């Protein structure tokens, strides 16, 4: 009887710890992605620390922007690679900042206009005070069409959370 | 009066230019202002204004968040694990945003810098409070009350700052709005000015069109009047020609009768009357043709005839004039040209005579050499007259060794009516009646005229004229029927132009020709069947003796400068100018066909 109970307990214990496709973060979580996608490491979500984000293909943009002085070199990852990693499908991202400010950024901006989620500025991880840990940045100096209110409005900083909006039916 | 009109016309022209320049300037200014106004960078002033206000409010919210966090902080919350630093950094990032970038630049200008001072006070105080944050992170909550108290004491500065940013932003956006309004006002004014200028321009254009139409109609009427006048002139000259011809013919007939009668009238006198009469008739015909050409009423009267015979006849008409000036002349007609051609021979004669007359005029001594040969030009595409099967082009080349035409005459002649910008033919007053008519006739017959002149060396004219080849060609003329074995000839002549034409003539009779400009005293003369002695500076007793020797061995001697041989024992056949193939033919036939050549047996 005891052995039967022990076997049952082991079975319940094993089934109560889900197996995730995505690795677990080892450091402080700086980004949480939610949405309908396959590769997760939490319940209906994917948490990322800085090394996990750094493991994604990296891109850099050197530009001026209206919020800081001078020209800076920003380095980070693309939403297209993030979606590919998560095996997610979506065309719109709902990006929320640490202060709960939210804006929508189309995935197309990362594919066509060359925007990135910057995690480093001038080679240094971006602190909260320096508008980090993650900021959406566009190549403003390379494409003058991007110097408009639309893209300045999408340039959200201190990002903490991304929700992948489902595809429109 | 006319001067006044001219002045007015110039004034109108300048006014038109002025309007066009004004329109261009206004358009450029208009587009410049529109572009400047619509520049996205300038439009971003609205965004900067909104960002300033947004960030000021976010600073306030974040301050209250930090305050709220601190008020709610209790001992069980320890350790904080950087949460206090996180809240503090969020607040400080707002301070930084308001001090840096475009927002910072804008906020600095509000209320004379009061906003900057307030920001600096808050920033300084918050920087000092970082010490308290570090203590809280270490778990020391004793600093918490003073921390909360100092944050609360920042509230008046914070409220004042948000108020100033709000009023400053409003003032800023109002100013931007005023600038935009001013630009719109300028655009309106410039648009009205542009519209007015365009209306004025349209008015001027309409008026100019009206004037142009009037001028066009007037021009058309004047042209018609001019054409009528030319037509009347042609009719009058035709009438004169008709009226003058019978009496002149009567005079010519009388002169001929007197010449044949034994009334003792000097032959020179009758010849002079005949020549003058012919010249008068020719001049009247030329005038008549010229007026018909001007009236555009001249139509070519083509007929089929023997080209070579006609050409030789035309050249022989100038024999007396050349003889008076003691000019040598030779005509070569290329056997490649067809015998029978379809052409306006009357006008062709006028062209030949005009060019010969011009050569005689500018040639006080020397020679005139004439060649008629196929042209290298392509035949013009024209409708073939009945009885002809193709169009070809011949070239008439006339070269004299005279003084060369004066420069102004050459300039006047260098007018090609076929060129679009040189419509006028040379006038009678500039090039004379002969050349004016000749020039117009050549281009009427779809030909071309070119010439080259060298001072004191003479001129050469090249006239290319199209002609039609009749479908049924006459049997070949008898002049090229000589089929004797090839003979040899020597031409002793210093004038190489003349010598070369005679060489061509003899070559057409299957005679191999050598030319000599001077005698070296050693040339074997008895090797030639025929020797032609022309104007030869090296003629002396030694040459005379050598010539006598070779005549004895059967060489035939011809000469065309008989005065040189007057005092010699040489027996030579004397040729008269112009030397033509028609003249040479019977002589050569008599020399090489009738008599079996003893040279061959030598």
CB B246 within 8 A of CB B281: no
A148: Cβ contacts below 8 Å, ≥ 6 apart: B40, B43, B44
Residue A128, min C-alpha distance to chain B (Å): 6
Between the alpha carbon of residue A33 and those of residues A43, A168, B287, B568, the distances in Å are 11, 19, 107, 133
Contacts of A99 in chain B (CB under 8 A): 58, 61-62, 65, 90
Separation between Cα atoms, residue B505 and residue B369, nearest integer Å: 12
Residue A119, min C-alpha distance to chain B (Å): 16
User: Is B47 close to A149, i.e. CB distance below 8 A?
Assistant: yes
**Which residue in the set B47, B92, B96 is minimally distant from A152, CB to CB?**
B47
Contacts of B43 in chain A (CB under 8 A): 148-149
For the range B536-541, what are the long-range contacts, defined as Cβ-Cβ under 8 Å and sequence gap of 24 or more?
A: B536/B492, B536/B493, B536/B494, B536/B561, B536/B564, B537/B494, B539/B492, B539/B564
User: Is A66 close to B58, i.e. CB distance below 8 A?
Assistant: no
Contacts of A147 in chain B (CB under 8 A): 40-41, 44
Separation between Cα atoms, residue B94 and residue B103, nearest integer Å: 11
User: Is A69 close to B100, i.e. CB distance below 8 A?
Assistant: yes
CB B281 within 8 A of CB B299: no
pLDDT at site B39:
62
Interface of A with B (CB under 8 A): 65-69, 98-99, 127-131, 144, 147-149, 152, 158
The ipTM, to two decimals, is 0.71
Contacts of A127 in chain B (CB under 8 A): 89
Interface of B with A (CB under 8 A): 40-41, 43-44, 46-48, 51, 58, 61-62, 65, 86, 89-90, 92-93, 96-97, 100-103
CATH number, domain containing residue A72: 3.90.420.10
User: Is B96 close to A129, i.e. CB distance below 8 A?
Assistant: yes
Q: Give the residue-averaged pLDDT of A12-16.
A: 48
CB B340 within 8 A of CB B473: yes
Element housing B121 (H / E): helix B114-128
Does B39 or B225 have the greater pLDDT score?
Answer: B225
Nearest CA in chain B to A71: B101
Report the relative pairing of strands B556-559 and B573-574 from DSSP bridges.
parallel
Separation between Cα atoms, residue B276 and residue B283, nearest integer Å: 10
CB A35 within 8 A of CB A114: no
Nearest CA in chain B to A158: B90
Phi-psi bin for A158: left (phi > 0), alpha (psi -120 to 50), beta? Answer: left
B396: Cβ contacts below 8 Å, ≥ 6 apart: B351, B352, B355, B370, B371, B372, B461, B462, B463, B465
Q: Over 50: is that where the pLDDT of B518 sits?
A: yes
pLDDT at site B409:
81
Task: Share the mean pLDDT of chain B.
Answer: 83
Task: Share the mean pLDDT of chain A.
Answer: 86
pLDDT at site B440:
87
What are the b/e assignments for B138-166, b being 16+ CB within 10 Å? eeebebbeebbeebeebeeebeebbebbe
Q: Which domain holds residue A72?
A: 2-165
User: Is B103 close to A66, i.e. CB distance below 8 A?
Assistant: yes
User: Is B61 close to A99, i.e. CB distance below 8 A?
Assistant: yes
Mutate which: B40, B80, B93, B107, vs A, most A CBs within 10 A: B93
Residue B114, min C-alpha distance to chain A (Å): 21
User: Is B93 close to A130, i.e. CB distance below 8 A?
Assistant: yes
Give the confidence band of B598 by pLDDT, cuts at 50, 70, 90: very low
Lowest mean pLDDT, pick from B112-121, B217-226, B555-564: B555-564
User: Is B93 close to A158, i.e. CB distance below 8 A?
Assistant: yes
Residue A13, min C-alpha distance to chain B (Å): 32
> What is the three-state SS of B512-528?
EEEEECCCCCCCCHHHC
Q: How many CA atoms within 13 Å lie on the side-chain side of A149?
A: 12
Does B48 or B83 have the greater pLDDT score?
Answer: B83
User: Is A66 close to B93, i.e. CB distance below 8 A?
Assistant: no
Between the alpha carbon of residue B225 and those of residues A29, B3, B228, the distances in Å are 103, 26, 5
B602: Cβ contacts below 8 Å, ≥ 6 apart: B553, B554
> What is the three-state SS of B534-575?
CCCCCCCHHHHHHHHHHHHCCCEEEECCHHHHCCCCCCCEEC
> Three-class SS of residue A35?
coil
Structurally, chain A folds into a number of domains equal to 1
Residue B356: phi, psi to the nearest 5? -65, -40
Residue A143, min C-alpha distance to chain B (Å): 13
pLDDT at site A34:
93
Residue B43, min C-alpha distance to chain A (Å): 8
Instruction: Render pLDDT for A62-93 as a digit per residue (tens, 0 to 9).
Output: 999 888 888 999 999 999 999 999 999 889 99
In percent, how much of chain A has pLDDT > 70?
86
> Three-class SS of residue B368?
strand
User: Is B96 close to A69, i.e. CB distance below 8 A?
Assistant: no
Instruction: Render pLDDT for B374-399 as a digit per residue (tens, 0 to 9).
Output: 999 888 888 888 888 889 999 999 99
User: Is B90 close to A128, i.e. CB distance below 8 A?
Assistant: yes
Contacts of A128 in chain B (CB under 8 A): 86, 89-90, 93
User: Is A99 close to B90, i.e. CB distance below 8 A?
Assistant: yes
Residue A128: phi, psi to the nearest 5? -60, -40
Residue A117, min C-alpha distance to chain B (Å): 19
Give the confidence band of B214 by pLDDT, cuts at 50, 70, 90: very high
Q: Over 60: is that where the pLDDT of A8 sits?
A: no
């Amino acid at each position: 009887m005891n052995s039967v109970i022990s076997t049952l307990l082991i079975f319940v214990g094993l089934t109560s710890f889900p197996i995730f496709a995505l690795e677990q973060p080892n450091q402080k979580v700086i980004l949480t992605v939610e949405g309908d996608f396959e590769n997760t490491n939490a319940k209906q979500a994917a948490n990322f620390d800085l090394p996990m984000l750094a493991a994604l293909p990296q891109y850099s943009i050197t530009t001026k922007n209206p919020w800081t002085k001078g020209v800076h070199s920003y380095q980070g990852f693309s939403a297209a690679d993030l979606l590919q990693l998560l095996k997610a499908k979506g065309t719109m991202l709902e990006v929320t900042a640490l202060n709960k400010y939210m804006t929508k950024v189309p995935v197309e901006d990362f594919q066509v206009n060359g925007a990135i989620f910057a995690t480093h500025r001038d080679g240094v991880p971006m602190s909260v005070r320096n508008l980090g840990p993650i900021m959406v940045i566009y190549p403003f100096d390379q494409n003058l069409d991007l110097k408009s209110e639309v893209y300045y409005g999408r340039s959200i900083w201190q990002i903490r959370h991304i929700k992948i909006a489902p595809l429109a039916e | 009066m006319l001067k006044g009109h001219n002045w007015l016309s110039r004034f109108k022209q300048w006014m038109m230019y002025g309007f066009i320049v004004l329109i261009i300037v206004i358009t450029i200014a208009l587009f410049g202002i529109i572009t400047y106004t619509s520049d996205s960078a300038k439009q971003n002033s609205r965004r900067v204004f909104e960002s300033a206000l947004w960030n000021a409010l976010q600073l306030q919210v974040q301050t209250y968040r930090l305050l709220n966090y601190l008020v709610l902080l209790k001992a069980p919350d320890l350790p904080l694990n950087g949460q206090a630093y996180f809240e503090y950094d969020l607040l400080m990032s707002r301070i930084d945003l308001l001090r840096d970038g475009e927002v910072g630049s804008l906020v600095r200008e509000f209320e004379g810098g009061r906003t900057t001072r307030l920001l600096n006070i808050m920033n300084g105080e918050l920087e000092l409070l970082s010490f308290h944050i570090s203590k809280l992170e270490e778990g020391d909550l004793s600093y918490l009350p003073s921390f909360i108290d100092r944050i609360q004491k920042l509230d008046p500065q914070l409220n004042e700052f948000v108020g100033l940013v709000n009023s400053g932003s409003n003032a800023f956006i109002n100013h931007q709005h005023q600038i935009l309004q001013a630009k719109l006002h300028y655009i309106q004014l410039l648009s009205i000015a542009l519209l007015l200028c365009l209306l004025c321009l349209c008015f001027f254009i309409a008026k100019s069109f009206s004037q142009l139409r009037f001028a066009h109609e007037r021009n058309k009427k004047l042209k018609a009047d001019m054409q009528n006048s030319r037509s009347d002139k042609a009719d009058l000259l035709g009438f004169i020609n008709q009226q003058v011809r019978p009496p002149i013919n009567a005079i010519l007939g009388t002169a001929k009768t007197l010449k044949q009668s034994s009334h003792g009238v000097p032959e020179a006198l009758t010849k002079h009357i005949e020549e003058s009469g012919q010249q008068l008739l020719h001049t009247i015909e030329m005038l008549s043709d010229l007026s018909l050409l001007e009236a555009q009423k001249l139509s070519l009267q083509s007929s089929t005839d023997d080209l070579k015979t006609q050409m030789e006849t035309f050249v022989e008409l100038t024999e007396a004039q050349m003889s008076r000036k003691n000019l040598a002349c030779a005509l070569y007609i290329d056997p490649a040209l067809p015998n029978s051609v379809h052409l306006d021979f009357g006008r062709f004669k006028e062209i030949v005579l005009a060019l010969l007359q011009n050569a005689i005029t500018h040639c006080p001594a020397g020679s005139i050499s004439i060649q008629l040969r196929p042209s290298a030009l392509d035949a013009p595409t024209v409708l073939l007259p009945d009885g002809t099967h193709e169009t070809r082009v011949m070239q008439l080349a006339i070269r004299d060794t005279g003084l060369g035409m004066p420069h102004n005459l050459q300039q006047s002649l260098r007018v090609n009516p076929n060129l679009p910008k040189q419509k006028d033919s040379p006038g009678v007053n500039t090039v004379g009646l002969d050349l004016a008519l000749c020039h117009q006739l050549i281009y009427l017959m779809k030909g071309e005229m070119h010439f080259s002149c060298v001072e004191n060396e003479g001129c050469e004219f090249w006239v290319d004229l199209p002609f039609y080849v009749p479908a049924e060609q006459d049997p070949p003329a008898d002049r090229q029927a000589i089929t004797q074995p090839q003979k040899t000839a020597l031409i002793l002549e210093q004038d190489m132009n003349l010598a070369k034409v005679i060489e061509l003539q003899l070559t057409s009779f299957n005679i191999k020709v050598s030319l000599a400009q001077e005698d070296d005293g050693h040339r074997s003369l008895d090797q030639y069947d025929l020797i032609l002695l022309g104007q030869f500076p090296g003629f002396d007793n030694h040459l005379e003796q050598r010539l006598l020797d070779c005549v004895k061995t059967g060489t035939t001697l011809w000469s065309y400068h008989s005065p040189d041989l007057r005092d010699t024992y040489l027996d030579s056949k004397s040729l008269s100018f112009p030397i033509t193939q028609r003249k040479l033919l019977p002589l050569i036939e008599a020399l090489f066909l009738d008599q079996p050549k003893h040279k061959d047996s030598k």
